[in-house]
Amino acid sequence: MSKSEQEIGRAGEELAARALRNLGVEMVERIGTPVKLQPTKLPGAFRVIYGEKVSGDFRGVMPGGRSVLAEVKTIYDRNLRWSDLRDHQPGRLDEHTYRGGLTLLVWVHHSGIYVMEWPISGFGPHASIEPEWAMDIQKVKG
């Protein structure tokens, strides 16, 4: 991932966190990817080794205590594709929903920020979500 892609992703995550708070999600916290630094042969240089995959980008809580897990995708210029999710993500999102949590997929696009409740009917392998569809389904239940 290039530095500019990382900056775009970070900016999208900030917008997504604000959108979650505006929807009433409390204690919104970024889920950090665990990393280890491994020394290299060059003095003072390290190689980053990523640890266990995380379930989403943000955790939070609804006022009644219900757990919230949100995965954020910042894709400004095209539809959101199923293939934009990493292999482990649909399963982790499904598991959180199965256990009674409110699971959200947040798409940051040039036309708006769409907060959609997971699972999304009709969204699966080889499918994509257009902004118009996202606008129709972004009804979030607490």
Measured in whole angstroms, the distance separating CA 121 from the mean position of its chain's CA atoms is 18
Residue 57's domain comprises 3-137
Q: Is residue 26 part of a domain?
A: yes
Q: Is residue 60 part of a domain?
A: yes
DSSP 3-state of 118? coil
Locate 82 and state its tokens: 């199923």
Quote the number of domains for the chain: 1
pTM as predicted: 0.84
pLDDT, tens only, 118-130 = 999 999 999 999 9
Q: Is residue 62 part of a domain?
A: yes
Q: Is residue 142 part of a domain?
A: no
> Residue 89: what pLDDT?
95
Q: Is there a contact between 74 and 89 (Cβ–Cβ < 8 Å)? A: no
pLDDT, tens only, 49-93 = 666 677 889 999 999 999 999 999 999 999 999 999 999 999 999
Q: Is residue 130 part of a domain?
A: yes
Q: Is residue 125 part of a domain?
A: yes
CATH of residue 80's domain is 3.40.1350.10
